[in-house]
Amino acid sequence: MLSPTRRSVSAVIAVDAALSAAVDLADEAPVGISMSAGWNAAAITFQISTDGVTFTDLFDSGGTEVAISSANVAAGRYISFTALLSNSFRGSRYIKIRSGVTALPVDQTAARTLGVQLRQLA
Protein backbone atom coordinates (compact mmCIF):
# COMPACT_ATOMS: atom_id res chain seq x y z
CA MET A 1 0.00 0.00 0.00
CA LEU A 2 1.28 3.45 -0.88
CA SER A 3 1.81 5.96 1.91
CA PRO A 4 -0.37 9.11 1.93
CA THR A 5 0.88 12.05 -0.09
CA ARG A 6 3.13 14.38 1.91
CA ARG A 7 4.45 17.87 1.38
CA SER A 8 6.24 20.52 3.38
CA VAL A 9 5.34 24.20 3.65
CA SER A 10 7.00 27.08 5.47
CA ALA A 11 5.55 29.04 8.36
CA VAL A 12 7.45 32.25 9.03
CA ILE A 13 7.47 34.12 12.33
CA ALA A 14 8.79 37.63 11.70
CA VAL A 15 11.49 39.27 13.82
CA ASP A 16 10.09 40.64 17.10
CA ALA A 17 6.85 38.68 16.59
CA ALA A 18 5.40 35.53 18.13
CA LEU A 19 2.81 34.46 15.54
CA SER A 20 3.50 33.09 12.07
CA ALA A 21 1.77 34.04 8.88
CA ALA A 22 -1.11 31.75 7.95
CA VAL A 23 -0.41 28.31 6.49
CA ASP A 24 -2.98 26.86 4.08
CA LEU A 25 -3.54 23.22 4.99
CA ALA A 26 -5.79 22.57 1.96
CA ASP A 27 -7.04 18.99 2.53
CA GLU A 28 -4.07 18.00 4.65
CA ALA A 29 -3.14 17.73 8.32
CA PRO A 30 0.13 18.80 9.94
CA VAL A 31 2.17 15.83 11.13
CA GLY A 32 5.38 17.54 12.24
CA ILE A 33 7.47 20.71 12.41
CA SER A 34 11.15 21.34 11.62
CA MET A 35 12.37 24.00 14.02
CA SER A 36 14.49 26.95 12.94
CA ALA A 37 18.16 26.73 13.91
CA GLY A 38 18.02 29.92 16.00
CA TRP A 39 14.75 29.33 17.87
CA ASN A 40 14.36 31.32 21.10
CA ALA A 41 13.17 28.89 23.78
CA ALA A 42 9.37 28.74 23.95
CA ALA A 43 6.46 26.35 23.75
CA ILE A 44 4.50 26.14 20.50
CA THR A 45 0.76 26.78 20.32
CA PHE A 46 -1.63 27.30 17.43
CA GLN A 47 -4.41 29.40 16.00
CA ILE A 48 -6.88 27.89 13.52
CA SER A 49 -9.28 29.25 10.91
CA THR A 50 -11.77 27.93 8.40
CA ASP A 51 -11.72 31.06 6.21
CA GLY A 52 -8.17 32.45 6.58
CA VAL A 53 -9.55 35.70 8.03
CA THR A 54 -10.83 34.92 11.52
CA PHE A 55 -8.37 32.94 13.67
CA THR A 56 -9.03 31.49 17.11
CA ASP A 57 -6.68 29.94 19.66
CA LEU A 58 -6.73 26.13 19.62
CA PHE A 59 -7.95 24.47 22.82
CA ASP A 60 -9.01 20.86 23.41
CA SER A 61 -12.45 19.82 24.66
CA GLY A 62 -11.20 19.94 28.26
CA GLY A 63 -10.31 23.64 27.96
CA THR A 64 -6.54 23.11 27.75
CA GLU A 65 -4.56 25.01 25.14
CA VAL A 66 -3.13 22.62 22.54
CA ALA A 67 0.62 23.02 22.96
CA ILE A 68 4.00 21.45 22.45
CA SER A 69 5.92 22.01 25.67
CA SER A 70 9.02 24.18 25.59
CA ALA A 71 10.88 21.17 27.05
CA ASN A 72 10.24 19.38 23.72
CA VAL A 73 10.95 22.32 21.42
CA ALA A 74 14.55 23.07 20.52
CA ALA A 75 16.43 24.83 17.75
CA GLY A 76 17.12 22.59 14.78
CA ARG A 77 14.86 19.77 16.04
CA TYR A 78 12.13 17.95 14.09
CA ILE A 79 9.01 17.40 16.16
CA SER A 80 6.73 14.59 15.02
CA PHE A 81 3.09 15.11 16.01
CA THR A 82 1.13 12.42 17.82
CA ALA A 83 -2.04 11.28 16.07
CA LEU A 84 -4.05 13.12 18.74
CA LEU A 85 -2.25 16.39 18.05
CA SER A 86 -2.53 15.98 14.29
CA ASN A 87 -6.27 15.26 14.59
CA SER A 88 -6.72 18.54 16.52
CA PHE A 89 -6.50 20.39 13.20
CA ARG A 90 -9.32 18.49 11.42
CA GLY A 91 -11.89 20.90 10.10
CA SER A 92 -9.38 23.75 9.91
CA ARG A 93 -8.21 25.11 6.59
CA TYR A 94 -5.56 27.50 7.95
CA ILE A 95 -3.22 27.55 10.94
CA LYS A 96 -0.82 30.00 12.52
CA ILE A 97 2.00 28.85 14.78
CA ARG A 98 2.71 30.80 17.96
CA SER A 99 5.96 31.01 19.88
CA GLY A 100 4.76 30.72 23.47
CA VAL A 101 1.23 30.37 24.78
CA THR A 102 -1.80 32.61 24.35
CA ALA A 103 -1.31 34.24 27.76
CA LEU A 104 2.45 34.70 27.29
CA PRO A 105 3.65 34.85 23.66
CA VAL A 106 7.43 34.87 23.14
CA ASP A 107 8.72 37.19 20.42
CA GLN A 108 11.53 35.70 18.34
CA THR A 109 14.69 37.82 18.10
CA ALA A 110 15.07 37.08 14.38
CA ALA A 111 12.78 35.86 11.62
CA ARG A 112 12.18 32.10 12.07
CA THR A 113 11.18 29.76 9.26
CA LEU A 114 9.51 26.57 10.44
CA GLY A 115 8.98 23.64 8.09
CA VAL A 116 5.49 22.21 8.50
CA GLN A 117 5.16 18.64 7.25
CA LEU A 118 1.66 17.91 5.92
CA ARG A 119 -0.04 14.63 5.06
CA GLN A 120 -3.19 14.18 2.99
CA LEU A 121 -6.26 13.44 5.09
CA ALA A 122 -7.59 9.92 4.71
Q: With H, G, I as helix, E, B as strand and everything else as coil, classify residue 105.
A: strand
Inside any domain, residue 82 = yes
For residue 110, report the phi and psi dihedrals to the nearest 5 degrees: -150, 165
Q: What is the tens place of the pLDDT at every residue in 64-105?
A: 999 999 988 988 899 999 888 888 998 899 999 999 999 999
Q: Looking at residue 110, which CATH number applies to its domain?
A: 2.60.120
DSSP 8-state code for residue 37: T
Helical H segments across the chain, by residue range: 83-87
Tallying the residues shown for the chain, one arrives at 122
Q: Identify the domain containing residue 53 by its residue range.
A: 6-120
Inside any domain, residue 1 = no
Residue 24's nearest CA partner among 52, 53, 57 is 52
**Measured over all CA atoms, what is the biggest interatomic distance in the chain, rounded to whole angstroms?**
45
Q: What is the tens place of the pLDDT at every residue in 7-58?
A: 899 999 999 999 999 999 988 999 999 998 899 999 999 999 999 999 999 9
Inside any domain, residue 79 = yes
Are 4 and 105 contacting, i.e. CB atoms less than 8 angstroms apart? Answer: no
The tally of domains found in the chain comes to 1
